[in-house]
Amino acid sequence: MAHASDGRSMEFKLPDLGEGLTEAEIVRWLVEVGDVVAVDQPVVEVETAKAMVEVPCPYGGVVTARFGEEGTELPVGAPLVTVAVGEAAAGGPARERGAGDGAAPTPAAEPPAAEPKPEGSGNVLVGYGTSEAPARRRRVRPDRPAATGASGRANGRVRAAEPVGGAVGTAEPLDGPVPVISPLVRRLARQHDLDLRELTGSGPDGLILRADVEYALRAAAAQGGRTADREAGAGGAPAGAAAPAASPSDGTRVPLKGVRGAVADKLSRSRREIPDATCWVDADATELMRARTAMNASGGPKISLVALLARICTAALARFPELNSTVDTEAREIVRLDGVHLGFAAQTDRGLVVPVVRDAHVRDAETLTAEFARLTEAARAGRLTPGELTGGTFTLNNYGVFGVDGSTPIINHPEAAMLGVGRIVPKPWVHEGELAVRQVVQLSLTFDHRVCDGGTAGGFLRYVADCVEQPAVLLRTL
């Protein structure tokens, strides 16, 4: 997503960062105007609804312009940086960074037209190559005053617009420029006749973000509804009366954005589209725990419990491939997938994410352990790439780490099933005809009832339980 306007100055645009992602927020610039960058060198760190991503530039040269301050949300296809390449790079940056840093760069001189268009790496991120057609350049339009009945937000609380000249919601002009960079924010405000000067931004240095505008619009709608109810009950109120500010009893509003918003959207879609059902069984995991202890006593790399459960899952999916599938609703077809890309739920400070272990069906317990550890560490550090968070075909959810026995998981759309594993705890259990204390675990399977019936789901879960109780069963499938 870069193009040459003059054969030497390359404009690099925000690339497609993965399926369903249309925008990203600038978290940290990694280069300054005037810096020399190499091909595929990261130039900016952005946050999407899925992960933190360092975006590499497919061109080498001198950075002549940056677009957007830290905290700005940019749509896919918006300019990120311009880079002077070839002889233009040797001549220094095309312009110094301006105060707004969002306008198009001004070339220092007209370059000769004989220089061929340089080739970029074209091999950096999902859906991102230098040969794609450039997206339309963003233009920042100046704000226009607009009457509004919306409320602003100051320090996380709602404040009502003060009446001026007897008209509710008509605000006096505020001093100073409006701290907005993103054209998306300005457009959203214009569409709803919202005066950005009435908002207090939650971004760095008071920068107004899209979440601030959406919050103000929701608050205005809720406040308008309450005002209408009061007027209807009291027989009407003076037109010039100001709406009172929200009371503390209204609670705190937290925007559904970032990872939390992405999780909410995906889970809601799963519930809407997938007719799911859940079955569960208790299993004696004593022998599995003993087998793991014996494996780890050999002096080799340690094997994790989740890796053993993953091996059991892939073996079970080989016997019951209906559960390693997805439903094409438009074609009304069930698509059974050849490989198992195993997702696993990981709780992080940024929220719940589901990293994906590629080709789990061809990995042994040792390599599965290493991959689970690598992806878990990357998830906690916010370094997962979009490719590591997408493309799963089946999910393993070990909620036992939270100290709970059972759950009814929501399927990770568009997959067809999820296996849930509770905590493994000592419990009374009948073993070989006698009461004994054994290590017991509850296993639950939530499945898409469109891809199979209860017999298939029960067969899958029973096979998993048999492998947990008698790990030697698994050897017959290797």
Q: Which residues are catalytic?
A: 449
| CA–CA distance, 220 with 192 (Å, rounded to integer) | 11
Is residue 414 reached through a cis peptide bond, with omega within 30 degrees of 0 on the bond before it?
yes
User: Does residue 65 contact residue 99 with C-beta atoms inside 8 Å?
Assistant: no
User: Which residue in this structure is represented by tokens 């760095």?
Assistant: 204
- Residue 350's region, left for phi above 0, alpha for psi from -120 to 50, else beta, is alpha
CA distance 394 to 311: 13
Q: How would you classify the pairing of strands 152-154 and 79-84?
A: unpaired
Sheet of strand 52-57, all strands in order from the earlier edge strand to the far edge: 52-57, 41-47, 23-29, 73-75
Give the HSE-up count for residue 64: Cα atoms under 13 Å, Cβ half-sphere: 27
Q: What are 336's strand-pairing partners? A: 325
Q: How many CB atoms lie within 10 A of CB 307?
A: 24
- Geometric angle at alpha carbon 320, from 317 and 322, rounded to 5°: 100
